[in-house]
Structures are given as C-alpha cells and as structure tokens.
Structure 1
Amino acid sequence: MIRLVTLDMAGTTVTDQHEVEACFAEAARKTGLVVSDDRILAMQGLHKYSVFQTLWEETLGSTTHPEWQMRVDKSYKVFTEVLENHYLTHSITPTEGCPELFDFLHEQGIAIALTTGFYRKVADIILQRLGWLNGLNEQRVGSTSSRIQASVTSDEVEKGRPHPFMIQKAMQVLGVPDPAQVINVGDTPSDIQSGRAAGCRLSVAVINGTHRADQLAPHQPDRLLDSLFDLIPLIQEINATR
C-alpha cells in the first residue's frame, strides 16, 4: 500500500518553462562562465551549488585551480539573486494534474512530501506564493489538514540528488519506514536516480516538465507519465491489489 508520494518541485509540481535554466544561464553569463544550454539542462534537479562546482571544474580543469572556489562562490551568489528575484516577481502555478493529484492523495490519506534542489529560502518563496506553506511548522512538517505534509530541500541533507537523502528524510519525519510504500516523482534524470537509490516502490517521471520522454527513457524510470494526473490510476491500481 502506498503511504507517501515524494515529488520534485520545479517542473514536476510547479510549472517550469525552463525558467531555472534561464536563471543559470544568466548567472553564468554575468560571471564569465561559458556553458551550453544542453549542459545546464543535464544538471537540472541537482543541488544548485554543486552545479557551479562541477561547471567551473570543467571550465578550469581542476578544483585545485587557484580561482576555482572564488568563481564558484561568485556564480552561485549571482544565481541566488537572479533566482529569488524571478520567483518573487513572476507568476507561479501548479503543473497540469497537480491540484487533482493532491486532492486525491488527501482523500486517500496518502502523505505528500516535496523535495527540491533549491535551498530553503527559494523553496519557501514558492511554497508561500502557492499557499502550500500554510500549516507547516519550522521544520516544514505539516499535518493531514495541510496541503502538503513535508518539504525537504537539498541544503537540509548530507547530499542532494541523485542521492536518496531527501526522500529518506521525508520518510523519517512522516513516519513511513518502508520504501516499498513510497512513490517518487520527478522530471529529471537525477529525480529518477534518487528514487531508485532510496528503494522506492516506483520512481516515475513526468514528461511535461523540463525533459522530454526521449531524454528520460534512457534513465529507466518505472513509468513515464504525461502529467501528474496519470499517477492517480497508478496508485489506485497498486492499492487495490494490496
């Protein structure tokens, strides 16, 4: 029986028309980092600071380069400024099927946890503007009456995706010890990998986010869904055969 669904934010539950990638590209351009759009896309879902660590390592050839740390910090600082301004000044909407899925999960008593490669400040800006922060305590854990039951960011665990730690923290705070009772959902390769690393019953991907079906299929998700709405019959099928 499914007791918990963990979902990524940007591109999965929060509409993303490649805005995060655009914020990365703007920060890169402003700080002298030359990187292709395809390379930025390939790193979506990962902890944002580690993305700049990797990109500057690739550019400079080594993390021992005397300017590596300075350039990483500068790019990341500019990125946070661009990203925060974007989410404070642009419209934010749930993805197709997200409200219906949340309603269904509430009706079934299945907990909802949002995981993200964003740091806490940005995650809270998004949650606040969507009304999903309501009912969450200081640890960002809610109750059965709150819209979501937990929010976990990559800066709150040992390592972000593709590692399983965000999913495992959500399981811990919500009292779901068995990963066979968890479905993980995302829209990037690292989302799929984190769900598999956590041992989730299913690690599925939606194709209406930042990646197309042909970009996600090689990473072997358990299912490819057109939208979050398609998760409803899948859960119904699993729980009907328990």
Structure 2
Amino acid sequence: MAGDGGSLRGAGRSATGAAVMKAVFWDLDDTLLNTLPGRMDALAGTYEDCLGIRPADPEALWREHNGRTLEQMARNLLGDDWLRFAERYRERYYAIDFALEPFPGVVDTLDALRSDGVELAVVTSKISWGATGELTKTGLLDRFATVVGHDDCEAHKPEPDPLFVAMERMCLDEPREIAYVGDTPADVKAGRAAGCHAIGAAWGSLDAERVRAEGPDLLAEHPSEVLAYVRRVAAGATS
C-alpha cells in the first residue's frame, strides 16, 4: 500500500516486460544535505533586517514556509518588496559558515545506485549555482547527470515542470522508470504529478506526517530504503 514501500504498482517495464528503474531524482535541502541550520540562521537574520524584529522561533517560521520557493516565501512575508528579502536572504545564507554535509547513508546509497546502473539528478527549488556550489563543496556533484534549479524553469514544485526538465536533459521519456525523493509534501506532489515514483525522505523532513499524508509510494526513514525500493522494482516485486 502507498506509503509503506510495499506497492510497486505501475512500475516502468522494459520491452521484455521486466520492471526497470532508470533514474532517481533527488531534492537537495533536507534530503541530500542537512542545510537547515544555515537556512534558519539566514531566515532569522533576514527577517530582522527587513521587518525590524527577530523571530521568536526561527524553526517554527521556517516550518510555516517549508516546501515553498524562496520567492514564494519572500512574497508571503514582504509582499511587493519581496526581491529585497530574497536577495538579503541569499547574501546571508551563503556567508554563513556552517557544517554542511550529506545525511548519513546518502553517499553509500548514491554510489550503490550508480553501481546498479541507475542515473542520478538533483531537482531543487534552490537557485542552480547555489545548489551546484554546495554539491561541489560536499563532493557529491560528479555523481549527478544534471542539476535542475529554481532558475531553470518557470513553474516550480509542487508542479512537475522541474522534473520534466531533468527528464529532457537526460533523454528519459518514461516517468514510471524514475523515482523522485524529497522531504516535503510539495516534493511528493511534484513526483506524483510527473508520473514518477514519489518517495518521501523522512530522515530530513521537518514534518514527516504531512509527507505521509500525501500518500508517497514510500516514506523512507533512511536513504538505504530508497536503494532497497529501487532494487525491488528492478526485481519485478509486486504488492
């Protein structure tokens, strides 16, 4: 059933009828990399810079806007003056020196998927140069065929457009041969809308129950569960 990793209904099939999974697309923040400390710090400082007060609970403020693009969050907080907020946030975020690293199990999972012949991509709402920089800093960039950022498409998650950009770049045309992994309800919605396997990343999610409520094909507590799911698809497992 959806959400427990047991159902592989609708898995992509090769010409011989065998189940296949050609690619796994990954969200970046709170899925591959633990960037929350830096993002909360930047949000609290930017909020104070632009609104004149320090938020009492930066994590609650971030939770309120989690899954939105920076532009969407800035418009919600500052209205027509949103661009000033967005620019100041980026200035603060990329100036913060915090311990940026992949979540436990991410590197091993990525390497195992690649060894299995599965292609990888990053699909994020972060601006592409920022995402590429963080992937470079953490030594992950070379594992991915492409990085799709906020500036690479007009519509953003929960719309499926960013996933379609990655598919086009990688010459993939069958969504059910792709899984998308992310930590927010918007990620699950985007994966569903694109026709991909939608996997929730509970290991980095601020609200895993909201992700579960979207009915992902799998709600993974650890990155290794993504690998196991992909291998079950490849083995032709069914519910």
Q: Same fold (TM over 0.5)?
A: yes
CA gap 1:211/1:116 in 2 versus in 1, 3 angstroms: same
Report what 2:225 is aligned to: 230
Residue 150 of structure 1 is aligned with which of 139, 146, 152? 146
1:205-235 Cα distance to aligned partner (Å, 9 max, x none): 1112132432322222221111111111111
Report the counterpart of residue 106 of structure 2 in structure 1: 98
Matched, 1:129 2:137: yes
- Give 1:25 deviation, angstroms: 2.6
Q: Could you say what secondary structure the match of 2:148 adopts?
A: strand
Structure 1 residue identity aligned to 2:71: Y
Trace 1:23-34 onto structure 2 (pairs within 5 A). 23-32=42-51
1:72 counterpart letter in structure 2: W
Give the whole-Å Cα distance in 2 for the aligned partners of 1:16 and 1:128. Answer: 14
1:65 aligned partner? none
SS at 2:162 equivalent: helix
Distance (whole Å) between structure 2 residues aligned to residue 19 and residue 218 of structure 1 = 28
Verify: 1:203 aligned to 2:213, yes or no.
Answer: no
> Do the aligned partners of 2:24 and 2:179 also contact (CA within 8 Å) in 1?
yes
1:84 corresponding residue in structure 2? 94
Q: Which consecutive residues of structure 1, in runs of 5 or more, have no partner in the other structure?
A: 57-67, 134-145
In structure 2, relative to structure 1, the CA distance for the partners of 1:99 and 1:157 (3 Å cut) is: same
Whether 1:168 aligns to 2:164 is yes
- Residue 23 of structure 1: how far off its partner (Å): 1.9
Aligned twin of 2:208 = 213
Paired AA for residue 30 in structure 1: D
Classify the secondary structure of the residue corresponding to 1:31: helix
Match of 1:120 among 112, 121, 128: 128
- Checking the alignment, whether the CA contact within 8 Å between 2:183 and 2:201 is kept in structure 1 is yes
The one-letter code sitting in structure 2 at the alignment partner of 1:75 is: F
Deviates more, 1:214-223 or 1:106-115: 214-223
Q: Which runs of 4+ in 1 moved over 4 A?
A: 33-37
Find the residue that maps to 2:143 and give its secondary structure.
coil
What pairs with 1:8-27 in structure 2 (closer than 5 Å)?
8-27=27-46
| Deviation (angstroms), 1:33 | 7.2
Cα shift at 1:22: 3.3
Q: Is the 8 A contact 1:97 1:228 kept in 2?
A: yes
Give how far 1:18 is off. 4.3
Partner deviation per Cα, 1:64-122 (whole Å, 9 max, x = no partner): xxxx42x2121111101011112xx2222111211111111111111100111111231
CA 44–212 in structure 1, closer or farther in 2 if over 3 Å, else same = closer
2 CA distance for matches of 1:151 and 1:238?
25
Supply the distance in 1 between the matched residues of 2:41 and 2:98 (Cα, whole angstroms).
13
Asked if the contact 1:152–1:170 (Cα under 8 Å) also holds between the matched residues in 2, the reply is yes
| Contact 1:17–1:210 (8 Å) recurs in 2 | no
Q: Deviations over 1:125-151 (max 9, x none)?
A: 202202233xxxxxxxxxxxx411111
- For residue 224 of structure 1, give the secondary structure of its aligned residue in structure 2: strand
Structure 2 residues without counterparts, runs of 5 or longer? 1-19
1:74 matched residue in structure 2: 84
* Cα distance change on mapping 1:33 and 1:169 into 2, 3 Å: farther
Deviations for 1:28-58, whole angstroms, at most 9, x for unmatched residues? Answer: 12100777743532432332112211233xx
TM-score computed with the length of structure 1 as normaliser = 0.82
Which of the pair has the greater relative contact order for Cα pairs under 8 Å at 6+ separation? 2
Aligned mate of 2:180, from 184, 189, 192: 184
3-state SS of paired residue (1:94):
coil
RMSD: 1.9
